[in-house]
Structure 1
Amino acid sequence: MSGDVSDSGIKFKRVLLKISGEALMGSQGYGLHPPTVERIASEVKSVHELGVEICMVIGGGNIFRGLSGSAQGMERTTADYMGMLATVMNALAMQGALESMGVYTRVVSAIPMDQVCEPYIRRRAVRHLEKKRVCIFAAGTGNPYFTTDTAATLRANEMACEAIFKGTKVDGVYDKDPVKHADAKRYDTVTYDEVLQKHLGVMDASAIALARDNNKPIIVFSLDEQGGFRGILSGQGTYTTVHG
């Protein structure tokens, strides 16, 4: 049974969770790793049980990345559409995991494919959220040359989400890659302009600009930390907030 956000100390009533496709492949290096998909689904469920309305956008890099396909000689538009189809596969996998846990979920695609998921209709998607269904937005924006980061920021604005949660492999935004540099320093907060000027790699430039123009905070946290998503919604844990 979902809780009441007002009684749980949770700051946000509606959020968007953005994760990369690579987050679903676990340690195997490609494709979908079912235990990893289930672990992330359980994190989403734990937040859903608090009464928070959740949107998700999942990348497709574990299956096909349009930009790298283009770099190998494939025509960019075709490569990007292939990447969009990869995000639909990931969304369906996440839907299956969530619904096996009793969480009602809808996959909503920017590219119509009625046999497997719903087409994106904003008012219908809002209604799903109001009915406490998790909405997974697939196929990016439906247009080539835009990343799933930009799609996440766009959908967060359209759905009137109060924040974007970016799940990564590290616990926030650093001044340089903490995996390669032991002296990397983590920011507690950082502005949109600093992210752009210092090329901090939170999201691509168009996604950051769209978040800045609509004053949409981005919270960067580690998806690998058990209970991290729920904890941060309660104001606990380690993360970086990108804001104006």
Structure 2
Amino acid sequence: MQQPIIEVDGLGVEFYRARRRRMSLREMVLQGRSSSPSETFWALKDVSFTVAPGEAVGLIGANGGGKSTLLKMIAGVLLPDEGKVRVKGGVAPLIELTGGFMGELTARENIYLTAGLHGLTKEQIDERFDDIVAFAGSQVKDALEMPFRHFSSGMQVRLGFSVITTLDEPIVLVDEVLAVGDRAFREKCYRRMEDLLSGGRTLFLVSHSENDLRRFAKRGLYLRSGRLTADGPITEVLEQYNADADNGS
């Protein structure tokens, strides 16, 4: 029996509902605390599951249900207040595609920087460079020496997707990014995702598109108000989610 590649055990994350305002030194001395509301809520509470290597999992739920928070926990960019997340292997995060790119650097420099930060050597990036650029498209190819901040949002997303999906990480986290770009680029993204899955990658997909969820995921996890409500075949979990939505629950 394969060991899980992702283990989530009793996971809980607590947030403030409103950002506390900064107090002046006088307020700190006289009041000792902020007068701003300090009410909290649990974005995730008592969430537990495991994912086996090569599984394709769709994360389902309404806005504010905790889906993106869970993905960030698995990616390691958020720490839990309760419970544990164990990830065995590296992660290719298709969450904020352009978050690690530097606006003043050229597209060429950003390719080497981002791929290098994810563990590729210069020689490995050299080998993959032409493929990265070709996938991103002719507009990106013609602007390789241009500062990244001058790229259109579409060009930025194309380059980000191309770089992240060329990584060798065994786990791919996807948060709605398959919905970006024009139709032709979306189809390229779909084919790239299918290639990654056929190569044995583990997929964790957040999407509001039932077509995307049914196309890529075999298993569904349904988060409602931060709690894991259902875990099973993607079709059954989607049916439960849709029934809840129809009933207003």
Q: Structure 1-normalised TM-score?
A: 0.33
Instruction: Compare relative contact order (CA 8 Å, sep 6+) and give the higher one, 1 or 2.
Output: 2
The structure with the larger Rg is 2
Between structures 1 and 2, the one with greater strand share? 2
